[in-house]
Chains A and B, each alone.
Chain A
């Protein structure tokens, strides 16, 4: 009884169900093997491909906790990749460590400024977050296209490739980056009073003001961090494919990130936030994306399928819905909604 009350019970179960259901289509789903000193397997792929999403979602968690939202992360990712590859493409030696570090520094620095821009619009100018970040969501793609001149920039730089496509200690480097960001965020916010003050501002802005909290700086910080996270994720994706595509990098990432945060238990109205929940949420979204690819759903139906599964997951997580469906008719052990999605799996490939 007590375990089902835990905040992460339903998100955790959903992730497990999703993972286990993969075994029906890919019996080797849980297998891991070493090859050339690198660890391979579906699970590794999920974590690696999910790393950028997790990083964006961690940044998004803080923004949402303040009661805001950041729609610009996808565009910021595109800008970040564009800035870095544009600089590297202009280098005489594309693999020079110094050159790549400069490119990364420029990209991340620019994304910090973009985050600051969002933060100023929200906290200083007082524009509603959804509108304020919508500006950069639209304009940001334009900026990225402007940097890349409308072309896909490709680079040949093993040093740059490391960020999103390389390996360290037998594991994809991206995994270490994601863990580093998650741990950094958790330690900074929970060891200091940052987390509590952000939750206070998100939970009740006026009460926080009257308690003497300077919310402006806290909100700025959240958007700046979100910009940084999006920038890093953009680098990872661009690095993985050694190119920058201003039109498609990070497309719809903002929605996946928001979804990951919400699945993790952080409410969209702000207040309490849960970083471990965000981790579970991001892994769930990525597992779903991977599942769709491995079971070979018709590409035209993937978005619809994804939306359907997310819809079912949200229903199961809703206490009000559970109370309605599961408590009222306890006698006939009605199949919960999750197996229904499995039937869906069977039908589609057939």
Chain B
């Protein structure tokens, strides 16, 4: 590639950044070239987010040098970075969904005429900006009327329109489906051809190998190295990221087929009969047996999360009955569900899971304490014992129970959430996307944990967009489409990801014909 020979657009050398008690970045280098897609790889907590925030002016550096187009720069605000040509699109789309598409693209820099906003000009330029990302939508509609994927494209259009030198995409694909990912990749290739340097952060390795040209790997805040993507095989990449051999991963690969025997005579831990909620999920039947892992598979928006929320009482079912251990039970509130030994970790860790301001310790004991009520506090000694035990067992890092949980990386936050429920010793653990947005190492640990919990007799309802993962862990798979459970597939010898995909997709074609 010709551009690789030329000098880099961005050259970061020896970057250091410290937070109280943590070396977040310790001598990290990063080079970005025009016309290249550069992958930033590393586990959660490796320093990817910090490095991005340093480059975009959110954090100031404690050491090292950033050169942009050869000139040393020092950004002290995201605005400065944007003006210099560095734009970012974050994992969670941070636009104002109540404003129109055009307003979102031009917010803070509206085209004006005699002091007043020139709306017509704004809409025209918004359409132009969207054309660059191959999007043709009504720009006067509120952003909320479009899907997450479109909102993401709008965010990218905005970023590209503001400055066209360096574009940083932080986990842009984590909430997109396959077709939407391909649409995003088309746009990325087009922008690359226009000479942008693009940084791409993703936990999906296949995507990394499909779209990126070059990659930088970080581990524990330090630089591991820079490679051309085509020259670093996937297996080597993973071992460089986690810094240890792949035994844990391979061990899991081996147990692809899991079936439970002698279930027929057992009483289900939970049985839903005709449970549903208008506008959310059609009435469904679902039984989970002791020690069974039930996977929920389906496309984004197919009703997976809604099923989980009904089973936990997070949303109230308006039809059907629940049997817990064979006895009719109402699950109207999360509190009612937890007292029946049901636990639930939401896919939205930050908004529906953790209390960011509280410490790791407090977050871990929260559910147990809630079950006991405020008048019966868990003694501090007992708290410390429990918390230390689970910090060790789940390898939560940093292993400091008094750290505010918001300072932890995504994977470690997920583990704190798991620990919160594990100390309550639930009968049924409902996990909604527990491995989304977390790194390979933590992912393997969580998968292994699910297997060993089910071997100890705990039942698990497991939701994931990654069908391989669902198939690897589950005894049976419930397939959802259009807010309905359409099939229950036993995970026996003949079951494959392809068959699940066919079930999700195949029937829909029949229905279209019908």
Contacts and interface: CB of A to CB of B under 8 A. Distances in A.
Contact residues on B (Cβ < 8 Å of other chain), bracket? 20 to 34
B122 interface: no
Interface stretch (A197-205, A226-234, A297-305, A330-338): A197-205
Contacts of B366: 196, 200, 208, 211, 213
Interface string A185-228: 00000011110110110011011111111100010000000000
Interface in A166-200: 191-194, 196-197, 199-200
Contacts of A196: 358, 362, 366, 369
Q: Which DSSP category, helix, strand, loop or mixed, fits chain A's interface?
A: helix
B370 interface: yes
Contact of A210 (B352, B358, B374, B377): B352
Contacts of A165: none
Contacts of B377: 191-193
Contact of B357 (A193, A212, A271): A271
Contact residues on A (Cβ < 8 Å of other chain), bracket? 20 to 34
Interface of A: 191-194, 196-197, 199-200, 203-204, 206-214, 218, 271-272
B335 A204 contact: no
B355 A200 contact: yes
Output the residue of B339, B352, B374, B378 with the most chain A CB within 10 A.
Answer: B374
10 tightest CB-CB pairs across the interface, nearest first? A212-B338, A213-B370, A203-B355, A193-B377, A212-B370, A194-B374, A204-B355, A203-B357, A193-B374, A271-B357
Contact of B335 (A191, A194, A212): A212
A224 to B, nearest CB: 14
Nearest to B353: A207
B215 to A, nearest CB: 35
B374 A211 contact: no
Contacts of B369: 193, 196-197
Contacts of B352: 206-207, 210
Contacts, number: 81
Given A191-B377, A212-B370, A204 B351 contact: yes
A212 B312 CA distance: 10
A47 to B, nearest CB: 31
A255 to B, nearest CB: 25
Given A197-B369, A212-B367, A212-B370, A206 B355 contact: no
B353 A210 contact: yes
Interface string B394-426: 000000000000000000000000001000000
Nearest to A206: B352
B334 A203 contact: no
Contacts of A213: 335, 366, 370
A212 B358 contact: no
A206 B350 CA distance: 10
Given A192-B377, A196-B369, A197-B369, 11 more contacts: A199-B362, A200-B355, A206-B352, A207-B353, A207-B354, A211-B338, A211-B370, A212-B337, A212-B370, A213-B370, A214-B335
9 contacts: A193-B372, A193-B375, A197-B369, A203-B355, A204-B355, A209-B333, A210-B352, A210-B353, A214-B335
B193 interface: no
B425 to A, nearest CB: 14
A200 B378 contact: no
